């Protein structure tokens, strides 16, 4: 006798059986989400250097480009490029003081999200 396969065994249900009420509820919720905007948010953080920079900013009120470059081990030019991507995605903001540009996280939502992601990542590698 063959064992019955579950969704967990094959990553796909063997019988298609969608529940109309559930599908309608999910579609309504999805219609309120700007998925493209959220995807850009994740895309900006998908680069290791940009993610490290964002995490570095979690622990500081603000950092200048030179400090961020040194902290993550890259050049100022490379750091500036990555910070521009983070700024364009709405994750960080900048302010100029004389010839120095300082970066900080856009708001506490970004800080909370990154802190939770770091915490989850640490849990995922623990035995």
Q: What does the block give as tokens for 68?
A: 């961020």
Question: Mind listing the pLDDT tens digit for each residue in 36-85?
Answer: 988 999 999 999 999 999 999 999 999 999 999 999 999 999 999 999 99
DSSP string, 112-126: HHHHHHHHHHHHHH-
**For residue 108, how far is the Cα from the chain centroid?**
14
Using the Cα atoms of residue 75, residue 46, residue 110 and residue 52 in order, give the sign of their dihedral: negative
- The model's pTM is 0.78
Coil, strand, or helix at residue 71? helix
The CA distance from 127 to 95, in Å, is: 42
Spell out the domains of the chain, with CATH numbers in brackets.
Answer: 16-125 (1.10.10.10)
Question: Mind listing the pLDDT tens digit for each residue in 95-107?
Answer: 999 999 999 999 9
Helices marked H in the chain: 7-10, 20-31, 35-45, 48-58, 65-72, 76-88, 108-125
The CA distance from 16 to 23, in Å, is: 13
Provide the CB-side half-sphere exposure for 54 (13 A, CA): 32
| pLDDT range class, residue 24, cuts 50, 70, 90 | very high
């Amino acid at each position: 006798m063959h064992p019955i396969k579950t969704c967990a065994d094959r990553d796909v249900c063997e019988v298609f059986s969608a529940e109309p009420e559930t599908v309608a509820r999910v579609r309504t919720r999805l219609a309120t989400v700007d998925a493209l905007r959220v995807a850009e948010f994740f895309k900006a953080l998908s680069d290791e250097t940009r993610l490290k920079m964002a995490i570095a900013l979690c622990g500081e009120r603000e950092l200048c480009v030179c400090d961020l470059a040194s902290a993550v081990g890259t050049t100022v030019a490379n750091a500036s490029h990555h910070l521009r991507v983070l700024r364009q995605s709405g994750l960080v903001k900048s302010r100029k003081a004389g010839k120095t540009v300082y970066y900080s996280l856009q708001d506490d939502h970004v800080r909370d999200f990154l802190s939770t992601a770091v915490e989850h990542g640490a849990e995922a590698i623990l035995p």
